């Protein structure tokens, strides 16, 4: 678990400023091959940059995520592990808050999504509608493969989490 108080203020604010400009917060539904569990829900924090050193600072100070290179000499730092999002990413950005109104709004939606997932509210019709609404607002600038109706119609709502969808807890 991240001890956000141990991160030097200068470093924390620098990383948040960088993420404010270059980072993204998103939620994805990934189709599972197992019909008993049709969707995997992933919250993701991502920053891409040609300079690996800056992204390595994220990994070092946030103590989670992966750092990988892309085909076009761009490096990617990504956190999509739900526990790491809850214990590291959200507390970090709560302490070193975003400055732009756009990223503040995105972070607010991201936190609401995390709470809905943590409380397994997506297993009810009303909760899933909230998740899908926030997903549309948070991911408004990106292409998403699955429509709300694709997701909603395939969910056996009201059943246990073992038979519906899964929140990714793996790194």
pLDDT digits (tens, 9 = 90+) for 64-94: 999 999 888 899 999 999 999 999 999 999 9
Is there a contact between 78 and 171 (Cβ–Cβ < 8 Å)? no
Q: How far apart are CA 58 and CA 33, in angstroms?
A: 33
Q: Write a three-state SS string for 35-85.
A: CCCCEEEEEEEEEEECCHHHHHHHHHHHCCCEEEECCCCCEEEEECCHHHH
What tokens were used for 133?
Answer: 């609404």
Helix (H) or strand (E) holding 101: helix 101-118
Spatial CA neighbour of 117 closest among 145, 78, 96, 90:
90
Helix (H) or strand (E) holding 12: helix 9-22
Q: Is the pLDDT of residue 164 over 70?
A: no
pTM: 0.85
Is there a contact between 111 and 134 (Cβ–Cβ < 8 Å)? no
CATH architecture of 7-140+148-167: Roll (3.10)
Q: Which residue has the higher pLDDT, 133 or 169?
A: 133
How far is CA 7 from each of CA 19, 77, 78, rounded to the nearest angstrom?
Answer: 16, 18, 19
Strand-pairing partners, residue 166, are 40
**Helix, strand or coil, per DSSP, at residue 27:** strand
- What pLDDT sits at residue 151? 76
Q: How far apart are CA 57 and CA 111, in angstroms?
A: 23
- What pLDDT sits at residue 158? 54
Question: Could you state, in order of their start, the residue ranges of all structural domains in the chain?
Answer: 7-140+148-167
Residues 138-166 have a mean pLDDT of 63
Q: Which residue has the higher pLDDT, 31 or 17?
A: 17
**Helix, strand or coil, per DSSP, at residue 24:** strand
- What pLDDT sits at residue 163? 39
Query: What is the 8-class DSSP label of residue 140?
Result: T
Q: Is the pLDDT of residue 154 over 50?
A: yes
What tokens were used for 8?
Answer: 């030097």
Average pLDDT value for the chain: 86
């Amino acid at each position: 678990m991240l001890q956000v108080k141990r991160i030097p203020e200068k470093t924390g604010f620098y990383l948040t400023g960088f993420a404010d400009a270059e980072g993204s917060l998103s939620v994805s539904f990934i189709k599972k091959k197992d019909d008993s569990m049709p969707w995997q829900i992933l919250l993701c924090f991502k920053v891409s940059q040609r300079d690996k050193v800056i992204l390595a600072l994220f990994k070092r100070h946030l103590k989670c995520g992966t750092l990988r290179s892309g085909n076009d000499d761009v490096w990617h730092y990504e956190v999509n592990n739900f526990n790491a999002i809850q214990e590291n990413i959200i507390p970090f950005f709560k302490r070193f808050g975003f400055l732009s109104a756009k990223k503040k709004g995105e972070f607010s939606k991201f936190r609401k999504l995390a709470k809905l997932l943590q409380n397994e509210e997506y297993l009810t019709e009303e909760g899933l509608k909230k998740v899908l609404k926030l997903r549309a607002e948070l991911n408004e600038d990106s292409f998403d493969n699955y429509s709300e109706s694709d997701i909603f119609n395939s969910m056996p709502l009201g059943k246990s989490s073992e038979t519906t969808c899964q929140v990714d807890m793996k790194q």
